[in-house]
């Protein structure tokens, strides 16, 4: 037998290529849709255990949080972005105020939706809620829970209880003392940004009797009812629940478990949403990997992808309403309201006006629609202004309804533009020669009022940029 040579020991370039391909195939198979949905189910079971133990209502931090909560147990949604808690990018968002949570947190009867059937005690004596989110492999908890929510609690505490000192509570096993100190230095500027919105602080203060105090629970760090009770003596606990257990190292060693499986759905879900997953959970979990594309396509075909609340109208200011396209059948629309629909297929501006009470504006989809909005806003606002100032009919009872596919993005942006351009500070209609120059602060104040009235609104950055761009440059 000839002696072993160096060439026999060292892999050839072709062998290395094959080895890398095998590792890549193994990683992709581990991150399959099957493993993701099973991981989500496992994490959702942990979330339900936490809710049963603490006897508290569940709030999904969107978009990820809804994957981990059975809709029958979901009380509300929140929008706390992890990017607002990233190191050196800390922020208190005046776009996502989440002020609707104050009423839920301060309720003595626990759940905000008593019509839902819950297996937990709905007369929980220590008002609070559990905000659910997840994060990627390797992290103990998402920045939204470890920093964004603590910042939110601290800023609101300073605004609503200014005579009391309010420390910034941060999970010490996740955030360093140095970072905590740096965030604390920014709190006065965050408070100023909130106060600049001129919100009715007395109304907000009426919902809670004590300051807010974040607490944290993960699959590795438990939280007892006694701990919540102890904190409740001096503050309203805000429970931040990380649904996924921490995976250190390669997920291929976890037997198919994926940390934060419900995140980044645009990269794996093929259009599947949390709502569709829970509606068809058993069918999806029993489906083989190769059959997922066809099944998900069929489920999307038979499901209203806009969401369960897209058919509802929300009054955001005076006679100004916002909703999803399916709300076109709402009584408020049928009874003589001015209706502006924002469609996902781009159309020529000359075809938009369908009569004195109707505009069908084709903007396109996603970021294209947000960009096209900049050119459409002057036409829409002039149309609405003409409706509101026409001499005939009852001027006091006139309504304007703005509808888009989700009822949360483009329609909110258009409503903001109308609210600023058409209405003055007293809620009256601006005359043609009475429109001044708009500033970011003035626009932000109006947006804050809309977000307070419609907490599930989620206008994209691109949409708001189009609105700001037009309002601040409309004279040019």
Residues 253, 383: one domain?
A: no
Tell me the CATH number at 469: 3.90.190.10
Looking at the fold, whether 458 and 340 belong to one and the same domain comes out as: yes
Rounded Cα distance between 231 and 102, Å, is 17
Res 239: pLDDT: 94
Task: Report the C-alpha gap between 283 and 226 in whole angstroms.
Answer: 39
- With a cut of 50, say whether residue 259 has pLDDT above it: yes
> 237 and 105, same structural domain?
yes
pLDDT digits (tens, 9 = 90+) for 325-369: 887 666 556 667 899 999 989 999 899 998 888 999 999 887 788
Asked if 223 and 279 sit in the same domain, the reply is: no
**Amino acid 417: pLDDT:** 94
Q: What is the pLDDT of residues 297-328, one digit of tens each?
A: 888 887 754 455 555 788 998 889 999 888 76
Q: Is residue 397 part of a domain?
A: yes
Residue 297 belongs to domain spanning: 270-303
Whether residue 362 sits in one domain with residue 450: yes
Q: Which residue's entry shows tokens 């037009």?
A: 470
> Which of 42, 6, 20 shows the shortest CA–CA distance to 260?
42
Q: d(Cα 129, Cα 47) in Å, to the nearest integer?
A: 12
Q: Which of 170, 174, 204, 75 is nearest to 132 (CA)?
A: 75
Same domain, 400 and 322: yes
Q: How far is Cα 473 from Cα 358, in angstroms, rounded to an integer?
A: 27
Q: Which two tokens stand for residue 6?
A: 């160096």
C-beta separation of 450 from 416 below 8 A: yes
Classify residue 21: in a domain, yes or no. Answer: no
- 257 within some domain: yes
H or E, element range at 355:
strand 353-355
Whether the Cβ atoms of residue 138 and residue 163 lie closer than 8 Å to each other:
no
Are 126 and 232 contacting, i.e. CB atoms less than 8 angstroms apart? yes
**271 pLDDT more than 90:** no
Give dist(CA 270, CA 33) in Å, integer: 9
pLDDT level of residue 175 (50, 70, 90 thresholds): very high
Q: What is the average pLDDT across 194-201?
A: 91
Q: End of a domain among 251, 283, 303?
A: 303
| pLDDT 10s digits, 116-157 | 344 444 455 456 889 999 988 778 899 999 999 999 999 999
Q: Which residues contact 241 (CB under 8 A, 6 or more apart)?
A: 47, 50, 130, 131, 132, 133, 145, 216, 217, 218
Q: What is the pLDDT of residue 382?
A: 92
In a domain? residue 38: yes
Supply 346's token pair.
Answer: 């781009």
| Same domain as 382, residue 410 | yes
Domains identified in the chain, total number = 3
Is 32 exposed, middle or buried, given 0-12, 13-18 or 19+ CB atoms closer than 10 A?
middle
Least confident of 167-181, 204-218, 277-291, 303-317: 303-317
Q: Is residue 408 a part of any domain in this protein? A: yes
User: How far apart, in whole angstroms, are the C-alpha atoms of residue 246 and residue 256?
Assistant: 14
């Amino acid at each position: 037998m000839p002696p072993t040579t160096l060439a026999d020991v060292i892999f050839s370039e072709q062998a290395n290529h094959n080895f890398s391909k095998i590792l890549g195939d193994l990683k992709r198979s581990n991150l399959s849709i099957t493993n993701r949905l099973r991981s989500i189910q496992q994490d959702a079971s942990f979330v339900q255990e936490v809710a049963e133990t603490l006897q508290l209502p569940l709030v999904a931090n969107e978009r990820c949080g809804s994957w981990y909560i059975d809709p029958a147990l979901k009380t509300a949604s929140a929008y706390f972005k992890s990017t607002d808690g990233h190191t050196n990018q800390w922020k208190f968002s005046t776009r996502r105020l989440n002020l609707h949570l104050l009423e839920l947190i301060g309720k003595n009867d626990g759940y905000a939706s008593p019509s839902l059937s819950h297996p937990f005690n709905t007369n929980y004596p220590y008002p609070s809620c559990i905000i659910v989110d997840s994060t990627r492999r390797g992290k103990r908890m998402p920045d939204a829970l470890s920093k964004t929510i603590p910042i939110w609690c601290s800023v609101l505490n300073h605004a609503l209880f200014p005579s009391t000192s309010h420390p910034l509570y941060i999970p010490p096993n996740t955030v360093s003392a140095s970072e905590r100190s740096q965030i604390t230095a920014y709190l006065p500027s965050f408070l100023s940004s909130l106060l600049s919105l001129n919100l009715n602080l007395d109304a907000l203060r009426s919902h809670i009797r004590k300051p807010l105090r974040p607490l944290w629970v993960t699959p590795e760090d438990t939280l007892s009812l006694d701990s919540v009770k102890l904190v409740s003596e001096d503050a309203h606990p805000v429970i931040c629940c990380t649904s996924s257990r921490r995976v250190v190292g390669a997920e291929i060693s976890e037997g198919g478990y994926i940390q934060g499986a419900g995140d980044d759905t645009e990269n794996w879900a093929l259009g599947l949403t949390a709502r569709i997953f829970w509606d068809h959970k058993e069918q999806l979990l029993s489906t083989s990997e190769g059959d997922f594309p066809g099944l998900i396509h069929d489920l999307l075909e038979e499901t209203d992808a806009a969401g369960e609340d897209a058919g509802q109208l929300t009054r955001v200011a005076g006679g100004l309403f916002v909703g999803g396209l399916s709300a076109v059948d709402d009584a408020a629309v049928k009874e003589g309201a001015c209706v502006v629909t924002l469609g996902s297929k781009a159309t020529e501006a000359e075809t938009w006006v369908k009569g004195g009470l109707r505009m069908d504006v084709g903007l396109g989809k996603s970021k294209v629609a947000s960009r096209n909005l900049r050119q459409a806003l002057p036409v829409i606002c002039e149309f609405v202004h003409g409706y509101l100032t026409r001499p005939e009919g009852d001027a006091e009872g006139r309504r304007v309804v703005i509808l888009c596919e989700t009822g949360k993005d483009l329609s909110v942006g258009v409503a903001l533009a109308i609210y600023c351009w058409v209405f003055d500070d007293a809620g009256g209609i601006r005359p043609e020669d009475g429109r001044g120059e708009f500033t970011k602060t003035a626009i932000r104040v109006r947006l804050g009022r809309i977000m307070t009235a419609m907490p599930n609104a989620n206008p994209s950055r691109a949409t708001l940029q189009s609105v700001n761009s037009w309002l601040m440059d409309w004279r040019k």
